[in-house]
């Protein structure tokens, strides 16, 4: 089944100069890149992205991590990959959430670490299921930034200019 999935190279991945390695590993999946950009992460974007973890003790530290405050890199690289079983393939390549439990040759197993404050700095984010992928892709990208009719859109007029937005 064709799927789309959101990948983020988190600030620790950028600081460790892992962009090239991660893209090379990702190409093993034979999936297609249909969107890519460098994005700043506002506090609001971080909060909404990780809204399912709001009650966790590490939530506040996690938000500072995603925003790049722990690494002096206030950005992430955001991408959408598309193809057969995209979500599962990327999750397998990424490895387990906890880098110490992740398979050593997975991206998180090879490059992740646990900070002294207990946050898993695990280098990349990957959507965990189709509902999350849709929610996350719509959060990080506008329709015209994706080379694919990912999800339903509608046209609105803003200051006299037509614009496609998620329906």
Region 105-124 residues binding ligand UDP, contact defined as CB under 6 A: 119-120, 122
Q: Does position 125 bind ligand UDP by CB under 6 A?
A: yes
Q: Which of 32, 128, 135, 166 binds Mg ion (CB under 5 A)?
A: 128
CA 83 to chain centre: 16
Exactly one of 49, 52, 71, 125 is catalytic; name it: 125
Q: Does position 130 bind Mg ion by CB under 5 A?
A: no
Q: Which two tokens stand for residue 28?
A: 């093993």
Asked if residue 163 lies in contact with residue 155, where contact means CB atoms within 8 angstroms, the answer is yes
Q: Does position 58 bind ligand UDP by CB under 6 A?
A: yes
- Return all residues near 137 (Cβ < 8 A) that are at least 6 apart: 4, 6, 35, 80, 127, 146, 150, 151
Q: Does position 92 bind ligand UDP by CB under 6 A?
A: no
Q: Which stretch binds Mg ion (CB under 5 A): 28-36, 75-83, 87-95, 128-136?
A: 128-136
Distance CA 11, CA 9 (A): 7
Q: Which residues bind ligand UDP (CB under 6 A)?
A: 53, 58, 62, 97, 119-120, 122, 125, 128
């Amino acid at each position: 089944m064709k799927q789309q999935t959101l990948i983020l190279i988190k600030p620790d991945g950028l600081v460790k100069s892992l962009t090239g390695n991660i893209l090379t590993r990702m190409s093993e999946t034979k999936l297609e890149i249909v969107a890519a950009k460098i994005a700043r992460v506002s506090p609001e974007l971080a909060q909404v992205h990780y809204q399912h973890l709001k009650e966790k003790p590490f939530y506040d530290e996690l938000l500072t991590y995603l925003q790049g405050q722990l690494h002096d890199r206030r950005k992430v690289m955001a991408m959408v990959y598309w193809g057969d079983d995209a979500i599962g393939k990327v999750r397998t390549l990424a490895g387990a959430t906890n880098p110490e439990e992740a398979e050593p040759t997975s991206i998180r197993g090879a490059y992740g670490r646990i900070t002294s404050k207990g946050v898993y700095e695990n280098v990349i984010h990957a959507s965990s299921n189709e509902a999350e992928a849709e929610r996350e892709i719509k959060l990080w990208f506008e329709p015209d930034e994706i080379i694919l009719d990912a999800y339903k859109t509608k046209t609105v007029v803003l200051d006299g200019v037509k614009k496609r937005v998620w329906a």
